[in-house]
A = this chain, B = another copy of it.
């Protein structure tokens, strides 16, 4: 049997299986029913927010000078205030709605209007306002009405030039003086200057500044302080800063640096929910452990990560809605010259876009679960330590994947639309430029994934917390033996022989949910267990040797976290399709689900082959299966992106309006008329014949 015909046999088998198992004739997507499911748990708020962002006054204008972009976004912020869009997340007592989930949902939808508007809102009401709510107490909450009304624009001054992801080691100090009852806020050198702060470049009148709290000669770690920074356009005494100027995107936001030269603020400006200083300088905290206190304070940052996960998913969906509409109309060869294929009929075009569409569906379902968890924790319905930690791990897992995926998707969409994709009016390039920084802010993606991998390792060792050392050793040996069994190809051999002559079996199993689950789960567990066993010697090594050992596994740690996050997305997608109740929609979305699951396995095929989880024959079946599913999904792609529910006011891309189809109809009509007139020129070849 040749490899070529092997593949053909595979393809035939895939085709046969699909024919037998799926009622293709009935597969029609109920777009509005699917749209309702995809809107998620806060569908009312989401629809309302989508309706609101149709207002052209909120839309990004390309090419404005820097100051005008910033002014425009500031004006738009006031429109949000007027609309009451910013109140949802604030406490009821200050005029808010205490609706944490709904607040995030409305925030996410702003990305279709202008990512600068979104992120500047996030700085003002999520970070600056959120810090006052979460880290402050009643003595600060009097500020909130002015924060909500934008009378008091503020910055969130955490990041320092010398300390990007390393918040615990911030160098800015806040030293308490019992004599004056003031804190002295000070950035002792350039690396301590606060950097990349939204609202700091121009508009900010105050900042929540993170600094090492020092009182009575003791440093109690990082705390937050309310610090006025400007009076109108002028810095207050002791405060200075620079405007960051042009960035790769988000130029509607005035980012900048802030430096503090012994700036004095009253003792009460300490946001004292988790740590306070009495008039005499005595420090107290409801959380005795400095480490735990620090992580509790940082826990408020999770809101940003949750919202970026949803935002990135919305942006990727928007890009696909534009590119798939265009691909459905655009012909490679013009009307009148034969061939009615549009771009989406080409296999390569499907390969470029459909797995990304499948990922967006997975992300939508995963994000809805994340939102619900976030809402439960922040509303207090379920804010146990464990739930908070789960929320943080979930957000740290999903945010890296979805933010990276948005960039990849917008780029693929732009390329799939050719030169038209490069025109700013078609949205794709600017959206990508604006979202670029999402992969490194609110937690650098690589840093977040390392946090996830540490959690995975902890969970792994927790399994044996109450077991004696012997049980642990036995388990490790057991896993290792199993790994060897997989690893040396022995299982491959067995599977190959089992598969041999039974293509049907290897093909059929791949679409079974349990088989996909097992493959994806197994990879995460095996990777974590391998890492745990490789890192075990660390406890016996010197600090620097242990660091070196960890560093030698850093890449694999991140890959294990990524595998975990992919599994979470796949599981959410698997649960999500159960919400679909009509058969046709269920069928089509199930195909998309399989594309997602099988694409994940295809992406890591080398791992499955090395570890003996898939035979070479079955590995080939995966690619063949995806190819067939792409062809099956082809007629439904427009319905699937229509179910995202965007309207022309959200898309705002000339290539997604039907203009292309109209132009082609005009061309076809011209050639038809020309042929009918008898005036069409003869091609040269025929003339010679």
Q: Which A residues fall within an 8 A CB radius of B? A: 1-8, 62-63, 65-66, 159, 161-166, 169, 171, 188-192, 195-196, 212, 214, 217-221, 244-249, 283, 290, 331-337, 345-348, 351, 407, 411, 414-415, 418-419, 421-425, 428-430, 432-433, 436-437, 439-441, 444-446, 477, 479-481, 483-484, 486-489, 492-493, 496, 500, 530, 533-534, 551-555, 558, 602, 605-606, 609-612, 615-617, 619-620, 627, 663-664, 666-667, 670, 681-685, 687
Contact = CB atoms under 8 A, between A and B. Distances in A.
Contacts of A188: 670
Contacts of A681: 212, 214, 217-219
Nearest to A552: B347
A173 to B, nearest CB: 8
Given A421-B440, A489-B496, 6 more contacts: A2-B483, A3-B483, A3-B611, A162-B663, A348-B446, A422-B437
B667 A191 contact: yes
Nearest to A407: B411
Q: Which of A249, A415, A611 has the most CB of B within 10 A?
A: A415
Nearest to A332: B166
Contacts of A664: 162, 191
A684 B220 contact: yes
Q: How would you classify the secondary structure of chain A's contact residues: helix, strand, loop or mixed?
A: helix
A529 to B, nearest CB: 8
Contacts of A619: 606, 609-610
A273 to B, nearest CB: 18
Q: Sort A-B residue pairs by CB-CB distance and give the 6 closest, nearest first.
A: A248-B429, A2-B480, A3-B483, A605-B606, A246-B424, A609-B609
Contact of A558 (B249, B348, B667): B348
A339 to B, nearest CB: 8
Contacts of A433: 248, 429, 433
A684 B248 contact: no
A177 B109 CA distance: 59
A572 B190 CA distance: 46
A613 to B, nearest CB: 11
Contacts of A334: 162-163, 166, 169, 171, 191
Contacts of A1: 484
Contacts of A351: 555
Q: Which of A163, A335, A609 has the most CB of B within 10 A?
A: A609
